[in-house]
Amino acid sequence: MNDRLLRLFDNDERCTLDGQDFGLSCQAVNWTCRDGELNLRIVSLETLELPSSEASEPRAAALARIAQHVRAHQAYLIIEQISDIDEAFYTHLSACRFVRIHNDSDREIWDRLLSMGLPIYGLSESIYCDVSNPLPASLLSALLFGAYYCSDGLLLSIDEGPQHCFITSEESLTAQVIIRGGMEAQQLNGTEIKWQDSGQEGYVRFELRGESGQAWTQPRFVSVVEAP
C-alpha cells in the first residue's frame, strides 16, 4: 500500500500531501446569483484566473459558464455545499466531478445523484490515495478515477476490480454495501471484506466503521448482466 494523505480543504488555494504543499490548487468560488448562492471549489494543476460573477445570472447559467472555463484548463469542479441546492437543480450538476461530504444528509443527496447516473465522487477533508508516484498530475488523475477513499482515521487496503471489491484492515470492520437508491444491500464484518457484484446494483460503494474511525469508498458503476 502506498497511501498518501491528501487534504484539499485546509485553505482557499493550496492542497497538501502528507502535510506539505505539493502544487495542486483548490480555489474557492462563492458567487451570489439571481436565484441563490453557488459555492464551488476548483481543483487544478495551477491557480486559475476566474471570470467574474454576475448577480443577475441564474445559478444554472453561472455553473455552465464556469464549467466551460475550467474545462479549457484541465480543471474540475467540486460542489461545496450540496445541501444548499434544491432538487430541481440536480440535473445541472453533470458539470461537476466531485461533491464535498460534510454529514449524513450530504451522503444521502450524493446517493440520489449517483442513482440519477451522475458519476460524481464524494470528498472529505482527509483523502487517502494509493499512488506510487505522488506528482500533482498523478494525484489529480487518482481523484478523477476514484482511486482513493475518505477517512477520519480508519486505514484500509482496497483491491477493486470490474466486478468485485476486497477491503482489508488491521482492525475489525463493519461495512455497509450501498447500492442504487442509497439502499444497503448487505452488512459485512471482519478484518477482510469481500464483495462480488450480481450485476443489478447500479453502483456499489462502501461505508466502513472501526475502532479508529469511519471511512467510505468511491462508487463503482456496475454493468447490467443480461439474462441468458
Q: What pLDDT score was predicted for residue 185? A: 97
DSSP state of 197: -
With a CB cutoff of 8 Å and minimum separation 6, the contacts of 133 are none
Q: For the beta carbon of residue 62, count every other beta carbon within 10 angstroms.
A: 23
Q: Count Cβ atoms below 10 Å from residue 108 Cβ, excluding itself.
A: 12
- Predicted confidence (pLDDT) per residue in 37-89, tens digit: 999 999 999 989 999 999 999 999 999 999 999 998 989 999 999 998 888 89
Question: What is the spatial distance between Cα 219 and Cα 123, in angstroms, rounded to a whole number?
Answer: 12
Which residues of the chain have a pLDDT value below 70? Answer: 1-2, 11-12, 224-228
User: What pLDDT does residue 20 have?
Assistant: 85
- The structural domains of the chain, ordered by start, are 3-123 (no CATH), 152-221 (2.60.40.10)
State in Å, rounded, how far the first CA of the chain is from the last one: 39
pLDDT at residue 134, as a whole number:
78
Q: Which residue's entry shows cell 481523484?
A: 143
Model pLDDT, residue 149? 96
Q: Quick one: which H or E segment has residue 53?
A: none
pLDDT of residue 11: 67
Of 150, 139, 142, which is closest to residue 24 (Cα–Cα)?
A: 139
